[in-house]
A = this chain, B = another copy of it.
Amino acid sequence: MGKSRLEAFSDGVIAILITILVLELKVPHGSALADLAPLLPVFLSYVLSFAYLAIYWNNHHHMLHTVQKVSGSILWANLHLLFWLSLVPFVTGWMGENHLAPVPTACYGAVLFCSAIAYYLLQLRIIAGQGHDSILRAAIGGDWKGKLSPGLYVVGIAGAFVSTTFAVALYAVVALIWIVPDRRIEKILASSGKREAS
């Protein structure tokens, strides 16, 4: 089974999620600039979630690049990831509308945490399918980003009950860590391409 339809479906779902996010930005009733002010936390949540979904799409793109054969377990691990990502618009709206109240901010972090775990599981399934010479395993190496992020999310979830500003700042930091695309995969792919050619 080829991977093109898996990519297309994932792209479709992520593209729709990233666009549905904007539906949480409800048009205000007044027409003054001040009427936009209460939307500011919603807008900031929107920007953060847009960045997160863009990062997931981007790295998903890179990760699937190393895949040749899609097994049933990869299909389901991928759907599991899409499930958690599909909850992002909901928690974004809840956090934004409540001006970053503690519980919604913690729930936002929990959805990010579950998405990170689901991404990790998908990565494991792909590596398992590639066997000993897994390109993906070579590419991610120690995978410090993948191991650090869930820890930071847990700190953010707990921290939300002390300071939501701290929690959201931490979520933003994790986004920044990831926003650099996974060049390791590009490098390994390039070098494995050279090896095959030589």
Contacts and interface: CB of A to CB of B under 8 A. Distances in A.
A89 B22 contact: yes
Interface stretch (A95-103, A123-131, A137-145, A146-154): A95-103
Contact of A12 (B16, B107, B186): B16
Contact of A181 (B27, B72, B83): B72
Copies in the complex: 4
A20 B18 contact: no
A162 to B, nearest CB: 16
Contact of A103 (B9, B33, B58, B90): B33
A19 B13 contact: yes
Given A12-B11, A16-B19, A183-B72, A28 B94 contact: yes
A142 to B, nearest CB: 21
Interface of A: 1, 5, 7-9, 11-25, 27-33, 36, 47, 50, 54, 57-58, 61-62, 65, 72, 75-76, 79, 82-83, 86-87, 89-90, 93-94, 97-98, 101-104, 107, 179-181, 183, 186
